[in-house]
Structure 1
Amino acid sequence: MKKILIAATSLLVIIAALFAFRTSLNWSSDQGQKDGKILNLYNWGDYIDPELLTKFTKETGYQVNYLTFDSNEAMYTKIKQGGTSYDLTVPSDYTVQKMIKNNLVEPLDKSRLTGMSNYDANFLNRSFDPGNRYSVPYFWGTLGILYNSKKIQASQVSHWDDLWSPNLRKQIMLVDSARDIMGMTLISQGKSVNDTSQSDLAAAQGKLTSLMPNVKAIVADELKMYMIQGEANVGVTYSGEAAQAMAKNKDLRYLVPSEGSNEWFDNLVIPKNAKHKAAAYAFINFMSKPENAAQNANYIGYATPNKKAYQLLPADVRNNQAFYPKQKVLNHLQVYNNLNQKETEEYNDAFLAFKMTRR
């Protein structure tokens, strides 16, 4: 009986300690929920400096519930199902277009936005959201080639076609993305990343299949780690992932082939069923401040669309043309359009057929 009493007492102490710890957190506090001072932010994993969330709460009183997704498709499905209310989410360009088409996002009240003049005009009024009626840019970047300069010369991988060289046998890692890998192949054939011609997609699949002898692995987020560790000499990945890898391995370099690539944009949007719209606008305005956008860019490694934040970045970052390309490179970049279900399936099927050739 004494043992039972001691155990019960210990359990009560632990519960009390856990409760005290929980109520001490800045994020998701009961008081914040009771007051309605809360923001449900649905974002990619590790896609904001945590210190900014703490700063936002201190400045505004809004507690942040930070929830994550790992793909545009997963996020879109969750928003469409409507079972959970999110106040703000971060879709990529073509998904913004899809969400607008399906009436899943709220038109922005521009009178409530205080920092739009901080953004570079090059990153506003894009094809996926003319006039930025629904979205505010968050980060942007490119798809390109990350390589180990001790093993590979830039001239060996300066074009997409170079990846098919027999000298790169079993040396390449590809990001596991149908749209990106099919897109790079289409560009190498002089086609658009938004090509939906069945004959063009079949030709791209055929060419991609011939790349397989050079492919060491097709991976997701771990590509960055493998490149850092020297597991492969070449990787096709995103500029921000490349920046993070380069920060940990001084031999790594990143380039965007001169013939073009994908230029992507991640954006802040307010879902239709958002319950805390004042909090959403407060967060958009908070992240539009140059000092906050610059801090976030330094933490994440992706390029900021905020021109005033860009001026606050270290000179070596601002002058790095791999991550902030000159206009002549930007002119050759292409933004993904939203594909319908049939077209999406055709891309996915072609990519899956390519991956099956590894067996």
Structure 2
Amino acid sequence: MRTSKKKGLGALAAVAVLALAGCGSSTPAGGGSTAGAGGFKVPDLKPLDKLGTPEGEVKVLAWPGYVEDGSNDPKVDWVSDFEKSTGCNVTVKTFGTSDEAVQLMRTGEYDTVSASGDATLRLIAAGDVEPVNTSLITNYPDIFDSLKNQPWNSVNGVSYGIPHGRGANLLMYRTDLVKPAPDSWGAVFDKAGAQAGKVTAYDSPIYIADAALYLMSTKPELGIKDPYALDDKQLAAAVDLLKAQKANVSEYWSDYLKEVQAFKNGTSTVGTTWQVIANVAQAEKAPVEAILPKEGATGWSDTWMVSAKSKHKTCAYKFIDHIVSPKVNAQIAEYFGEAPANRKACAETADPNHCKTYHAEDEAYFAKVHYWNTPISACLDGRTNVKCTDYAAWTKAWTEIRNS
């Protein structure tokens, strides 16, 4: 089992968020044209027009568990066959946070990256990644349509990456200690006092979106339409909610194994989680359930992107095509704990119930999931009469919440 999907995401360096400070107000290096619902400017980069001769290598940045080559477990290897069939030697570097991924991509040393939605717009706006030619990805037609051309992986209808997998941030609770069974995020916000000192929350500025999502339902007068598009007043309301929550928080988690232990020993009884955490906890006999609350949830949809400075673009495209192929995408989804992006992967999973467990084919389920996106000053909800708060502001607010 991998260590943590996004371990330590809350430990954010200020330099990592500077790229967002100018989004919506200035042109990133390399010039560009205004594009996208957010209105920020992107460099005028072109996608690869055709595949060439494989360059012999590809340097990959990935979340732990996404690119296994047998070195961690000889039985878990979806790299060796690719190397043999293409001649592209794969070098993998894993990262622990989206901010680390952004910093590493800035070096220009890597060809492709598995980026989450809280990193993708930063990479696009800065010109670190280029548009992708989806016609060169043979498996692209089999990717779920609902994951294509979305705000976190495209700009103005131009694709900047290939979807990899997705999942929701769920509400988990101890069935023996939390009664009645909750159906709302109110269990960790307005009603958190019922489990005082035993509430757990995800340790990241992006968790502010969870509070904003709850306020969308409970305080419609705030006018929140997108949990990642918050003006100053809306952000302040989310911050106030999270400060009030903190009095009841036992732990802010980033390592999922620690959350499993906390729910097993009862030091945490209710809080945000991932499906894989619930699965592990249940397998270890913890009396827990995980639900998608009535307000919906935040979640992730990760994207394979190609570096604008890549020297091995043919190998990069072939690698991405391999990663999202049915069999490999199925292997990764099971190993990692998420829904695969390729619809044909569901027929390839070792566990015939995997796709059902992770709601891979349940679009009604994922219609309730607001996938992570990068907050920028140009409001992602389309508002033009107000300036929204960017990721730098969210990082500052999260520090304020944690220190309150």
Whether these two folds match at TM > 0.5 is yes
Residues paired across the two proteins, number:
318
Q: Tell me which residue corresponds to 2:204.
A: 177
CA distance in 2, matches of 1:325, 1:289: 17
CA distance in 1, matches of 2:278, 2:213: 21
| Equivalent residue runs for 1:201-220 within 5 Å | 201-220=235-254
Q: Check conservation: 1:239, 1:323, Cα contact below 8 A.
A: no
| Superposition TM-score, scaled by structure 2 size | 0.72
Q: Tell me which residue corresponds to 2:227.
A: 193
CA distance in 2, matches of 1:47, 1:293: 9
Q: Tell me which residue corresponds to 2:57.
A: 38
Out of 246, 249, 253, the position equivalent to 2:289 is 253
Secondary structure of 2:129 counterpart: coil
| Equivalent residue runs for 1:261-276 within 5 Å | 261-276=297-312
Letter in 2 for 1:317: H
Tell me the CA shift for residue 47 of structure 1: 2.9
Q: Deviations over 1:48-85 (max 9, x none)?
A: 343112232233332221101111112112222x2x51
Q: Tell me which residue corresponds to 1:346.
A: 393
Q: Tell me which residue corresponds to 2:78.
A: 52
Q: Tell me which residue corresponds to 2:164.
A: 138
Unaligned runs of 5+ in 2: 1-53, 70-76, 217-223, 378-388
Question: Does 1:161 pair with 2:170?
Answer: no
Give RMSD over aligned pairs.
2.5
Secondary structure of 1:269 counterpart: strand
Q: Deviations over 1:304-335 (max 9, x none)?
A: 11100023333432323x64484443333223
Q: Deviations over 1:113-154 (max 9, x none)?
A: 11111211111121221556220011111112122334335x
Q: Check conservation: 2:229, 2:375, Cα contact below 8 A.
A: no
Question: Does 1:85 pair with 2:122?
Answer: no
Out of 294, 300, 303, the position equivalent to 2:330 is 294
CA distance in 2, matches of 1:151, 1:325: 32
CA distance in 2, matches of 1:152, 1:303: 28
What fraction of aligned residue pairs are identical, expressed as a percent?
Answer: 20
CA distance in 2, matches of 1:55, 1:315: 24
Q: Check conservation: 1:38, 1:62, Cα contact below 8 A.
A: yes
Q: Is 126-135 or 182-191 further displaced after alignment?
A: 126-135
CA distance in 2, matches of 1:157, 1:325: 25
Q: Deviations over 1:220-268 (max 9, x none)?
A: 1154443464342223133444444444445332212121221321111
Q: Check conservation: 1:171, 1:214, Cα contact below 8 A.
A: yes
Letter in 2 for 1:106: E
Q: Check conservation: 2:55, 2:314, Cα contact below 8 A.
A: no
Q: Is 118-127 or 143-152 further displaced after alignment?
A: 143-152
Q: Check conservation: 1:118, 1:288, Cα contact below 8 A.
A: no
CA distance in 2, matches of 1:197, 1:288: 37
TM-aligned CA distance change 1:202 to 1:237, over 3 Å: same
Find runs of 4+ consecutive structure 1 residues off by over 6 angstroms: none
Tell me the CA shift for residue 163 of structure 1: 1.5
CA distance in 1, matches of 2:65, 2:373: 26
Q: Tell me which residue corresponds to 2:7.
A: none
CA distance in 1, matches of 2:311, 2:262: 42
CA distance in 1, matches of 2:65, 2:393: 31
Secondary structure of 1:299 counterpart: helix
- More helix, by proportion: 1
Secondary structure of 1:52 counterpart: coil
Tell me the CA shift for residue 271 of structure 1: 0.6
Q: Name which one, 1 or 2, has greater alpha-carbon Rg.
A: 1
Q: Tell me which residue corresponds to 2:142.
A: 118
